[in-house]
Amino acid sequence: MIEIKNLVKTYNADTIPVKALDHVDLKIEEGEFTAVVGPSGCGKTTFLNILGGLDTPTDGTILIDGTDLHNRSSADMITYRRDHIGFVFQDYSLMPVLTAEENVEFIMELQGRPKAERAARSKELLAAVGIGDKGKQFPTKLSGGQQQRVAVARALASKPKLILADEPTANLDSKSTSDLLDIMRQLNEKENITFVIATHDQRVMDRAKRVIQFDDGKIIDTKI
Amino acid sequence: MITKIAWRNLWRNKRRTITSISSIFFAVILAILMRSLQEGSYGQMIDTAARFYMGYAQVHQKGFWEDKSINNLMTDSQETRNKILSDKNIKGAFGRLETYAMAATDTLTKGVMIVGTEPEGEDQLSHLSQKVTKGQYLTSDSKDIIIGEGLANYLGITVNDTLALLGQGYHGASAAELYRIQGVLKHPNPQMNNQVIYMALPTVQYFVTAPNMINAYILDVHDNRKVDQTVSELKGKLDLDNYEVMSWSELSPEMVTLINTDREGGKIMIYILYVVIAFGIFSTILMMTIEREREFGILTAVGMVRRKIYSMLLQEALFIGLIGVVTSILVGFPVLLYMENHPILIEGAKGEAMAKMGMEPILRFTASIDIIWPQALLMALIMIVCTIYPIIHVARIKTVEAIHS
């Protein structure tokens, strides 16, 4: 379970302070499929960055299974992210020099897992996201939807309990969006993986179990 | 996989990578050729000096080099010769007895250097017979002499004339004799040309009353790059209480200084070339780093520790250096081997001037691994140094800012 307490993030604290997050309190249960929505600049991405340990809060704490997420050194935080959090970015952010399979395997290699295990899991994950036949393709040879599926498979490679996705459908057409959401929902239900998705996309909101609305760095509404 | 990524990253911008590799390739080729020509010219200088007169090494009675006196001679022994000739790198060894005397005709006198030698051995080393311009070269039993052209001109004598020599013999004996001139030679060393007289060894031994005595064994070698090793081995074979063994570098330390000074000058030129190349490489690596800031942000976000990113950058740089160096060696070494066997002939007035000075009118190259490996090492070092700042740059990247850059 994720417990967010009194989370504050202020930019330019020394000059003209801008509060990106303003005393946010929230609990996210294990296995939730949550959409974080709101207008541009409302704090969605900042919230995701801090939740993923990419950025540090100005104040407040995030407890994941009772442990303070940010009470770690920078190096420890990198390995924590590697082992416990999966990321899906708007522009897929795959390694262009690696094939789809290698992109998925890469995370497992960072974890030091054996080659055979990496290869098997990579194939299994790509099959699970519906592009089992595209493993040997480089990202430039894949469509946007296919690349985003590889990104989801990569996010799943380390067997994380939490996946954070920042506008994952923003560059996808309707069909690809629908397919991607089906895959994510399936994984959420089968594997009990927690998804937190920052989005503007109504189709994502429609498929989410919970929709949290941000404005001016505050949670203004929560719908289940 | 880091190595695989580093390798593939090189080819994301093929043109830039090939340009960088090419700059290394041409820099190393140029450096190798420069060094090869430099070392070749030193080899030629040493050969010329050795073949003029000195030999590649000499064996004397212990203390002779410090006190070059007619009284400081040694017995010419077959046993010592056998020990010297047993070394694989020794091509030949012959005895010499040098002394000084006054040469006189009926009207003129001049101080001369008398070299008693074994004509065959001397000819093998310095091709002395080819320098005879009038008359005949010596034979081992010649009672007559050959003299330098400058000396002949000064004294106004020529072949078949008689020359009186007056000097000091062994242990205070007087040395005086009349000799017929059987040949005149043009010695490549102008100083020698103006004062040298060559005799067969037994003739000069008789002149100074020192039968079977010599002051040096002059050594010729197969491979002049192994002279130091040969000298060291000879020192192990000969009784150093009685003998001293000296290489050309000990016999002519001023030439060593000249070579070392020139060598350092050449190296400085190469370092300047490398500094220019290093700036080009540095800007390439820095560009490769800066344009991938976001990618590095993503990599740290998904769990790649920075140490591995540094390793990736270093490997990319080393790959560029390695390809540049290996291709330059693959192309350069056969060129050096060819040039070593086919030196450049200097024609025209310059060539003639060199020949007059007794130097072969050629540009000689040396193909040696000792020329190549320092270039490879230096290039690896440059690549590492050029990666330091880009690594510092990556270390300063803030993940969240890089991702959203």
pTM of the entire structure? 0.77
pLDDT over 70 (residue B255) = yes
A54, A55, A106 ranked by CB distance to B1: nearest: A106
**A54/B403 Cβ within 8 A:** yes
pLDDT of residue B114: 95
Q: How far is residue A219 from each of residues A42, A43, A183, B239, B266, measured CA to CA in Å?
A: 9, 9, 28, 99, 72
The residue behind tokens 């051995």 is B121
pLDDT of residue B296: 93
Give Dmax over CA atoms of chain A in angstroms: 54
How big is the CA angle at B295 (ends B292 and B301), to the nearest 5 degrees? 145
Section B152-163 average pLDDT = 95
pLDDT band at B156 (very low <50, low <70, confident <90, very high): very high
Section B46-71 average pLDDT = 88
**A105/B8 Cβ within 8 A:** no
Chain A residues touching residue B299 (CB < 8 angstroms): 95
pLDDT over 90 (residue B386) = yes
pLDDT over 70 (residue B358) = no
Task: Locate the chain A residue with the closest alpha carbon to B302.
Answer: A82
Task: Locate the chain B residue with the closest alpha carbon to A47.
Answer: B400
pLDDT over 70 (residue B205) = yes
Distance of CA B102 to the CA centre of its chain: 37
Backbone angles phi, psi at A42, to 5 degrees: -85, -10
pLDDT over 80 (residue B354) = no
pLDDT band at B145 (very low <50, low <70, confident <90, very high): very high
pLDDT of residue A219: 86
CA-derived radius of gyration, chain A: 17
Residue B230 vs residue B349, higher pLDDT: B230
Burial class (CB in 10 A: 0-12, 13-18, 19+), B333: middle
Report which of A220, A172, A213, A162 is spatially closest to residue A35, judged by C-alpha positions. Answer: A213
pLDDT of residue A221: 79
**ipTM confidence:** 0.88
pLDDT band at B109 (very low <50, low <70, confident <90, very high): very high
Section B108-112 average pLDDT = 95
pLDDT over 90 (residue B394) = yes
Q: Which amino acid is at B293?
A: E
pLDDT of residue A17: 84
**A45/B404 Cβ within 8 A:** yes
- Residues with pLDDT less than 70, chain A: 13
Interface residues of chain B, partner chain A, Cβ below 8 Å: 1, 4-5, 8-9, 12, 294-295, 298-306, 308, 399-400, 403-404
**B301/A54 Cβ within 8 A:** yes
Q: Is the backbone of residue B120 left (phi > 0), alpha (psi -120 to 50) or beta? A: alpha
pLDDT over 80 (residue B359) = no
**B403/A109 Cβ within 8 A:** no
| H helices present in chain A, as ranges | 44-51, 74-84, 100-111, 115-128, 144-157, 174-191, 202-207
pLDDT of residue A66: 85
Section B74-83 average pLDDT = 93
Section B356-367 average pLDDT = 80
Per-residue pLDDT tens for B331-344?
A: 999 999 999 899 88
pLDDT of residue B370: 87
The continuous run of DSSP H or E covering B132 comes out as strand B132-135
